[in-house]
């Protein structure tokens, strides 16, 4: 892994990314770096649950379920 940079994301970062907040590009860059094994990202399951709950209320079950499945696959929860 590159220089060993590690970052911890929270629900605010993920929701902001989804809603294209001004910092969304920074989160996208972190996701790209993690996908390419340049950096490592961490996300606590509690924050994932919060993202699920918020998107469930705002977007419905189908969107929130597929979103959480994608994040779980990306972050390799164990």
| Number of domains making up the chain | 1
| Count of positions (residues) in the chain | 78
Range(s) of the domain holding residue 64? 5-75
pLDDT given at position 1? 47
Residue 20 phi/psi, 5-degree rounding, is 55, 45
pTM of the model: 0.78
* pLDDT per residue as tens, the chain (78 positions): 446 799 999 999 999 998 999 999 999 999 999 989 899 999 998 998 999 899 889 888 888 888 888 877 777 654
DSSP H helices, 4-44, are 11-18, 24-35
pLDDT given at position 67? 83
pLDDT given at position 77? 55
27 contacts 43 by C-beta, under 8 angstroms: no
pLDDT given at position 30? 94
């Amino acid at each position: 892994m590159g220089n060993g940079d590690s970052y911890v994301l929270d629900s605010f970062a993920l929701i902001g990314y989804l809603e294209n907040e001004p910092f969304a590009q920074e989160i996208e860059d972190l996701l790209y770096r993690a996908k390419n094994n340049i950096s490592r990202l961490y996300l606590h399951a509690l924050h994932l649950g919060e993202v699920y709950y918020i998107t469930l209320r705002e977007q419905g079950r189908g969107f929130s379920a597929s979103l959480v499945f994608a994040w779980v696959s990306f972050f390799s929860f164990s």
